[in-house]
Structure 1
Amino acid sequence: MNFLFISKWGEILDLVYAIQQEGNKVKMYIDYPPAREIGYGFVPKVRKWEKHVDWADIIIFDYVGYSKVATELKAQGKLVIGGTEYTDRLEMDRNFGQEEMRNLKIKILGYREFFTTDDAIQFVKQNPSKYVIKPSQEMQDYKQLLYVGQEEDGGDVIRVLKAYQKTWGNELGHFLLQKKVTGVEVSVAAFFNGKEFIKPINITFEHKKLFPKELGVSTGEMGTSMFWTDENPIFEATLKKFEKQLAKDNFTGHIDINSIVNGSGIYPLEFTSRFGFPQIQIQRAGIAEPIGNMLFKIASGQSFKIATRKGFQIGVYMVVPPFPYEDKKTFKMFSKDAVVVLKKEMKQGLHPMHLKLINGEWLITGDSGIVMVVTGTAQTMKEAQKLMYNRVSNVLVNNSYYRTDIGDRWASDFDRLWTWNLL
């Protein structure tokens, strides 16, 4: 089949490359100009994706913001993996996402939407507690603005808001203050074929901070562990309740709800109504059928069960400077065109991210410093973790860094989830 990929940042290279290796023809477009070298030498690239619509059997969008054109293409009879206006809004407008959950009688945490830091500061002073600062809409891509409060009286949240006021001013846009609760952070995700969720569903545990033991800046993602299952109480209490609305919307793609769960309940936090990164790379390690064919069946509305591997999948980002920051000078000095060297030939479990292929060598490109996702899959989390880090040790990338504790939380997370009857 012919697959046309429209990518926001180039994050989807591994999926494009895998589908090409399965015997399909692919073409890849990247919207962000500094990332357009990504994939060179791996897959065919195009500069005007619109010219290739007639060529494509299936068109895949990897980010929010393309819902209008995706819907138009569906109306023309094209097979599409991508968001709708409704699913885009679920992710990008946090307030809308929370209200949709409330309308479906899903228990949510108390929150308040703000348009100025002054109003938010005044609210915390009048209602002292632990809060999470959550930027909304286009600002939520700035992961460094997400702040999880630690002090009972909200004093640290007030200090952070005052700092944002000085550095961002009115550019911070509107944001939420959400009550903080403690527990296990877990995501439930599934593919949707326009009519229903496709089983099995995916249970995911993200590691968002830059350093081990959840220290440092929030990066969005440094690594993830997961497993597949046909049934799960968290799924039934959250994502499953959106099935009728997603069917009404003819959504074909992937959607995820992230929650905090504890002995008192399940508290959904936010949506990802597209592929997650590195979630899709790690999912691919656990899918036991050609993923191009799987996506074709989803886009064409077929009912089926995804063939997945038993046990656990785990993945970690290998990154280089300036990740997770934007600094073109640092990237050019330390990382641009650096070569990825393998001690011994081994491509299994290595998922290229911001790379190009020159004379058979993998070179770092783009501007963010994300090199690859390294994965492992096994019957137990410990075995999958060991395999993953063995593969990491086989990769030589100058100035690279990664977290060394992805999967360590599983033992305690499992005990608590089991105690709370959530597995």
Structure 2
Amino acid sequence: MKKVLVIGKGGREHALAYHLKQSPEQPEVYCAPGNVMMAADGIQCIDIAETDSEALASFCLDHDIDWSIVGGEAPLNVGMVDEFQKQQLKIIGPTKAAAQLESSKSFAKDIMSQCGVLTADSTVFNDYRSALAYTQSHSFPTVIKKDGLAAGKGVTIATDQAMAQATLQDIYHDDAEATVVIEEYLEGEELSIFTLVGEDTVIHAGVAQDYKRAYDHGVGPNTGGMGAITPVPNVNDELVVSAYEKIIYPVLDQMKANGTPFTGVLYSGLMRTKKGLAVIEFNTRFGDPETQVIMHHMNSSLFAALDAIVNNQSYTVSFEEGYSLGVVVAAEGYPHTPKKGFELGQLISDSGIKVYGAGISGNQTTGYQAAGGRLFMPVVQSQTLSDANRKVCHWIDELAIPHTFHRTDIGQ
């Protein structure tokens, strides 16, 4: 029996571990550190921090793990893949140098500039006064990004000078030497393309759309994501092929040419603009909450797809008909200061709904408790987005959990 390790503890990792376990190959699935809802699904949770590279590598050696996959960005940023490679362990994810495609917005802009990929015009600043002066001489809205990792929440769309100044003050108050990227505001529909990348293998792994703002109709603060759908209406095969030819392949080739070859999972956050398909951002791992809907919609073996890139082999991922849709249930106060410790109940799902756990504690027998911002995410598959939205929102409403909120317009 094959043994695999998923590194992380959120809803994304729950989806990866669960669907690996459901694969026809029936691998033995571990997750470090995992969460209580994973344990309820029979996934073996290991009490090792997701950023403890040495301890995780030792665990893999001691337990004959065939390969591991990194879920989130934090382990990549501490060089998890580098440590595993040093120990001659197989792992899915980029090296720390290649992960700069996500962790450094200026690095990503340089790569795109070198290979001629369409993205927003931008300027990089390293001090408050220069950045502020730039905003005072340019029109709004404008986009302000702090360089580095921000769990999907490091972007501000400043609609006026006061907002731009307040954003820059917050950034430089916390870090006087911060690098900031200020870029033009692009308009259009967003989509995310997921790609599995081996040494010489590229496997398309789906298209999704997430909803970043906290509240209905796209208002409120940016979050890590409040829901997602797959596939995306009006995104056809021709558009996906164009994205690979004009964006994904050129970026991968440029990374290799620069001596930082990319392997792992590439998340291409794109926008359909008047100028064409443009890059909003790259992530160097699966997205959360997009992973939950993509895994739910996949009808081929997740183990076989990931094993293919580990062993540099070809594979074709296939999906169900219709749509998969998920809605995040978050704690009151998220994304700033989420309320914790309150009861969530047993979270027993209806037929056809799969619930992926994130910021929760407790167990299904005595009940779960809130322990984070994004708590859990029910996902359902249906022939229409409207029916999928109705089923998920009805299930959430029936729970009637105090101190929580969710969006009702996902997929609408």
d(CA) in 2 for partners of 1:358, 1:379? 33
Aligned residue number for residue 91 of structure 1: 102
Tell me if 1:178 matches 2:183. yes
Question: What is the CA-CA distance between 1:38 and the residue it aligns to?
Answer: 7.1
Aligned residue number for residue 8 of structure 2: 7
Tell me which of 104, 127, 133 is aligned to 1:122: 133
Question: What is the CA-CA distance between 1:106 and the residue it aligns to?
Answer: 1.0
Aligned pairs for 1:66-77 (under 5 A) are 66-67=75-76, 68-74=79-85, 77=88
d(CA) in 1 for partners of 2:119, 2:305? 33
Question: What is the CA-CA distance between 1:93 and the residue it aligns to?
Answer: 0.4
Aligned residue number for residue 147 of structure 1: 156
Aligned residue number for residue 27 of structure 2: 24
Aligned residue number for residue 310 of structure 1: 321
Aligned residue number for residue 368 of structure 1: 372
Tell me which of 212, 219, 225 is aligned to 1:221: 225
Change (3 A) 1:266 1:170: same
Tell me if 1:392 matches 2:396. yes
Change (3 A) 1:307 1:37: closer
d(CA) in 1 for partners of 2:255, 2:127? 33
Aligned pairs for 1:55-66 (under 5 A) are 55=63, 56-66=65-75
Tell me if 1:340 matches 2:346. yes
Q: Secondary structure at the match of 1:198?
A: strand
Q: Deviations over 1:153-184 (max 9, x none)?
A: xx24443246526x835357211111112222
Tell me if 1:164 matches 2:170. yes
Change (3 A) 1:383 1:37: closer
Change (3 A) 1:293 1:150: same
Which piece of structure 1 moves more, 9-18 or 312-321?
Answer: 9-18
Q: Deviations over 1:338-378 (max 9, x none)?
A: 32344x7547332222345636355135x323222222223
Aligned residue number for residue 297 of structure 2: 286
Aligned residue number for residue 421 of structure 1: none
* TM-score with structure 1 setting the length: 0.81
Q: Deviations over 1:292-351 (max 9, x none)?
A: 333222322220101211332221111223422245xx313xx3x532344x75473322
Tell me if 1:274 matches 2:282. no
d(CA) in 2 for partners of 1:323, 1:273? 25
Number of residue-to-residue matches in the alignment: 390
Q: Deviations over 1:57-79 (max 9, x none)?
A: 11111123545442453465533
Aligned residue number for residue 419 of structure 1: none
Change (3 A) 1:142 1:267: closer
Tell me if 1:354 matches 2:365. no
d(CA) in 2 for partners of 1:246, 1:385? 39
Tell me if 1:242 matches 2:247. no
Q: Secondary structure at the match of 1:368?
A: coil
Q: Is the 8 A contact 2:359 2:376 kept in 1?
A: yes
Q: Secondary structure at the match of 2:390?
A: helix
Aligned pairs for 1:378-389 (under 5 A) are 378-389=382-393
What amino acid is the match of 2:18? Y
Change (3 A) 1:326 1:29: farther
Question: What is the CA-CA distance between 1:394 and the residue it aligns to?
Answer: 4.8
Q: Is the 8 A contact 1:135 1:172 kept in 2?
A: no
Q: Deviations over 1:201-258 (max 9, x none)?
A: 5222221110101111111211112218654233432223234356776644221121
d(CA) in 2 for partners of 1:358, 1:128? 52
Tell me which of 261, 277, 281 is aligned to 2:272: 261
d(CA) in 2 for partners of 1:141, 1:20? 27
d(CA) in 1 for partners of 2:4, 2:10? 18
Tell me if 1:203 matches 2:207. yes
* Identity over aligned pairs, percent: 17
What amino acid is the match of 1:112? T
Change (3 A) 1:392 1:36: closer
Q: Is the 8 A contact 2:346 2:364 kept in 1?
A: no
Q: Is the 8 A contact 1:39 1:356 kept in 2?
A: no
Q: Is the 8 A contact 2:80 2:95 kept in 1?
A: no
Aligned residue number for residue 81 of structure 1: 92
Question: What is the CA-CA distance between 1:4 and the residue it aligns to?
Answer: 1.7
Q: Is the 8 A contact 1:340 1:363 kept in 2?
A: yes
What amino acid is the match of 1:261? R
Change (3 A) 1:390 1:291: farther
Tell me if 1:51 matches 2:42. no
d(CA) in 2 for partners of 1:204, 1:10? 16
Q: Which runs of 5+ in 2 are unaligned?
A: 49-54
Q: Secondary structure at the match of 1:16?
A: helix
d(CA) in 1 for partners of 2:82, 2:313? 19
Q: Is the 8 A contact 1:221 1:278 kept in 2?
A: yes
Question: What is the CA-CA distance between 1:393 and the residue it aligns to?
Answer: 4.0
d(CA) in 2 for partners of 1:230, 1:362? 44
Q: Secondary structure at the match of 1:120?
A: helix
Aligned residue number for residue 52 of structure 2: none
